[in-house]
Amino acid sequence: MTETDFIPSAYKNDVKEGVVCYKSPSNIALVKYWGKKENQIPQNPSISFTLDACATTTQIAFTKLEKEADDFSFDLWFEGKPKEDFKPKITIFLKRIEKYLPFLKSYYLKIETSNSFPHSSGIASSASGMSAMALCLMDIEKQLNPDLSDDLFTKKASFLARLGSGSACRSIEGDIIQWGVHKETEGSSDLFGIKYPYEVHNNFKNFHDTILLVDKGQKQVSSTVGHNLMYNHPYATQRFNQAHENLNKLKSVFKKGDLVEFIKIVESEALTLHAMMMTSMPYFILMKPNTLEIINKIWEFREKSRTHVCFTLDAGANVHVLYPENEKAVVNQFIKDELVVFCENQQYICDRIGFGAKKL
């Protein structure tokens, strides 16, 4: 498929007003997306577990205007209050997707959104927020054009979410989503995320992700700035190739349920992401002392307990602790006894692999 496949033909229905609402989850990348080309095209393919508990709920009430406006007409409410400072980001998003949703300037939109996780938790809400919004807008399009197939609806929602925030395209469906052209993955695309199309062993069913909130402050480096650091980065080419190789390796890992190999790939990906930031110009260290304390504790405990607990990181200091369902009890105890002390205000979020966004 190409971009033009997402430009709709003339709408059939005339809809005066309505309300749509979606709850969309966050996701955690196993092979990381870091570096992009123009129009939110990734420099390398990535894969993620869709999460369940960490989610954004967005409702859009839409009313048809007397005549098409020159600019977007919308208001934004966040957790029950008007939120002017989010509006520029939404305007940029709407501009980017206008070509694919030609109805946008014909409606006034009241967008109300809230997160299941605390706002100042250092957890990025862009993936869940942009995917929830993309789904609401697609639902409006579906009302204007009821012939839209489910397959195109899902792909286009992912396509639009990607234009808001790259990783958001991996939040529409679950439970494992791949995004970005990868020779060895049939149907993979730079334009939208796809459900991982190959066999996945039961070891990866109901996988857990406990998110340790090490630093709840504002992100030191926005992801836009972060991705740009990969331009002219001395290790960029090797890194992009490595992501392809790690996806190749994951294929047999998922099939066989090989948790030992899984850990190697996932932890190496997390540290590589941070290594890229440490070796760019300007350079950043986004881990905090407690991030390293936690990583060392996980390594020590894994060795001692013979469990398969491992970590991954986003572009920040928080740690995602990943472990299989059958080791839940012992790992939860370990987290409470040994890791929670390293969290800001002892805060952490128990999440797990999930199955994608829901219409409410």
- What part of residues 271-310 is at the interface with ligand PMV (CB under 6 A)? 273
> Residue 32 CB, nearest distance to ligand PMV (Å)?
4
Name the residue nearer to ligand PMV (CB basis): 302 or 352: 352
Residues 167, 272, 290, 291: which binds ligand PMV (CB under 6 A)?
Answer: 167
Residues 23, 32, 156, 182: which binds ligand PMV (CB under 6 A)?
Answer: 32
Cα distances from 163 to residues 191, 339, 352, in angstroms, run 9, 36, 26
> Residue 273 CB, nearest distance to ligand PMV (Å)?
6
Residues 20, 25, 29, 158: which binds ligand PMV (CB under 6 A)?
Answer: 29
- Is 33 an interacting residue with respect to ligand PMV (CB under 6 A)? yes
- Is 233 an interacting residue with respect to ligand PMV (CB under 6 A)? no
- Is 188 an interacting residue with respect to ligand PMV (CB under 6 A)? no
2 phi, psi to nearest 5 deg: -120, 175
> Residue 31 CB, nearest distance to ligand PMV (Å)?
8
Classify residue 232 as left (phi > 0), alpha (psi -120 to 50) or beta: left
Name the residue nearer to ligand PMV (CB basis): 86 or 108: 86
Which pairs with CB-CB distance under 8 Å and at least 24 residues apart come from 188-192? Answer: 188/45, 189/1, 190/41, 190/42, 191/1, 191/2, 191/3, 191/6, 191/41, 191/159, 191/162, 192/155, 192/156, 192/158, 192/159, 192/162
Question: What tokens does 63 get?
Answer: 């009313």
> Residue 29 CB, nearest distance to ligand PMV (Å)?
3
> Residue 84 CB, nearest distance to ligand PMV (Å)?
22
- Is 165 an interacting residue with respect to ligand PMV (CB under 6 A)? yes
Residues 44, 46, 56, 318: which binds ligand PMV (CB under 6 A)?
Answer: 46
- Is 166 an interacting residue with respect to ligand PMV (CB under 6 A)? yes
- What part of residues 199-228 is at the interface with ligand PMV (CB under 6 A)? 223
Please name every residue paired with 160 in a beta bridge, in sequence order, or none if there are none. Answer: none
User: According to the 3-state scheme, what is the secondary structure of 180-229?
Assistant: CCCCCCCCCCCCCEEECCCCCCHHHCCCEEEEECCCCCCCCCCHHHHHHC
- Enclosing H/E stretch for 131: helix 126-144
Question: Strands across the sheet with 319-323, in order?
Answer: 310-313, 319-323, 208-212, 348-352
Span interacting with ligand PMV, options 1-9, 144-152, 162-170, 336-344, rule CB under 6 A: 162-170
- Is 351 an interacting residue with respect to ligand PMV (CB under 6 A)? no
- Is 177 an interacting residue with respect to ligand PMV (CB under 6 A)? no
Residues 267, 314, 344, 351: which binds ligand PMV (CB under 6 A)?
Answer: 314
4: number of Cβ within 10 Å: 8
> Residue 34 CB, nearest distance to ligand PMV (Å)?
6
Question: What tokens does 237 get?
Answer: 């080419």
> Residue 243 CB, nearest distance to ligand PMV (Å)?
10
Please count the residues of this chain forming the interface with ligand PMV, following the rule CB under 6 A.
14
Q: What is the largest CA-CA distance in the chain?
A: 69
> Residue 292 CB, nearest distance to ligand PMV (Å)?
18
Classify residue 284 as left (phi > 0), alpha (psi -120 to 50) or beta: beta
- Is 315 an interacting residue with respect to ligand PMV (CB under 6 A)? yes
Cα distances from 344 to residues 70, 125, 175, 279, 339, in angstroms, run 46, 19, 29, 27, 11
The Cα 202–Cα 326 span in angstroms is 11
Strands 358-359 and 176-179, how do they pair?
A: unpaired
Name the residue nearer to ligand PMV (CB basis): 154 or 223: 223
Residues that bind ligand PMV (CB under 6 A): 29, 32-34, 46, 124, 126, 165-167, 223, 273, 314-315
